[in-house]
Amino acid sequence: MGTSFFDRRRFLTQSSKAAAGLALFSSLPRQTGAVTGRQVRIRFSVININHSHIYGMVDAVTRGGGELVSFYAKEPDLASSFAKRYPQVKAARDQKEILEDHTIQLILSSGIPVERAPLGIEVMRHGKDYLVDKPGIITLKQLEEVRRVQRETKKMYTIMYSERLENRATVKAGKLVKAGAIGNVIQTIGMGPHRMGASSRPQWFFDKKYYGGIITDIGSHQFDQFLFFTGSTKAEIVASQSGNVHHPQYPEFEDFGDVMLKGNNGTGYIRVDWFTPGGLDSWGDGRLTILGTDGYIEIRKNIDIAGPAGGNHLYLVDQKETRFMDCSKEPLPFGELFVNDVVNRTDTAMTQEHCFLATELALKAQKMAKPLDYKK
Alpha-carbon distance 57 to 235, whole Å? 28
Q: What is the pLDDT of residues 51-89, one digit of tens each?
A: 999 999 999 999 999 999 999 999 999 999 999 999 999
CB 113 within 8 A of CB 362: no
> How distant, in Å, are the alpha carbons of 83, 125, 148 from that of 369?
41, 34, 26
CB 15 within 8 A of CB 307: yes
H/E element, 316: strand 313-317
Strand pairing class (157-160; 129-133) = parallel
Alpha-carbon distance 118 to 130, whole Å? 12
**Which domains can be identified in the chain, with CATH numbers?**
8-21+164-334+364-372 (3.30.360.10), 42-160 (3.40.50.720)
Note the pLDDT of residue 37.
Answer: 53
CB 217 within 8 A of CB 140: no
Note the pLDDT of residue 38.
Answer: 64
Task: Please choose, from the candidates 78, 124, 65, 154, the residue with its C-alpha nearest in 3D space to the C-alpha of residue 333.
Answer: 65
Task: Please choose, from the candidates 124, 30, 108, 126, the residue with its C-alpha nearest in 3D space to the C-alpha of residue 69.
Answer: 108
Low-confidence ranges of the chain (pLDDT < 50): 1-36
> How distant, in Å, are the alpha carbons of 104, 133, 242, 324, 350 from that of 217?
29, 10, 12, 31, 19
Q: Residue 37 burial by CB count (10 A; 0-12/13-18/19+): exposed, middle or buried?
A: exposed
Q: What's the distance, CA 293 to chain centroid?
A: 27
Count the neighbouring beta carbons within 10 Å of the beta carbon of residue 151.
10
Note the pLDDT of residue 375.
Answer: 64
Note the pLDDT of residue 23.
Answer: 38
Q: What is the pLDDT of residues 14-39, one digit of tens each?
A: 333 333 333 333 333 344 444 445 68
Note the pLDDT of residue 289.
Answer: 98
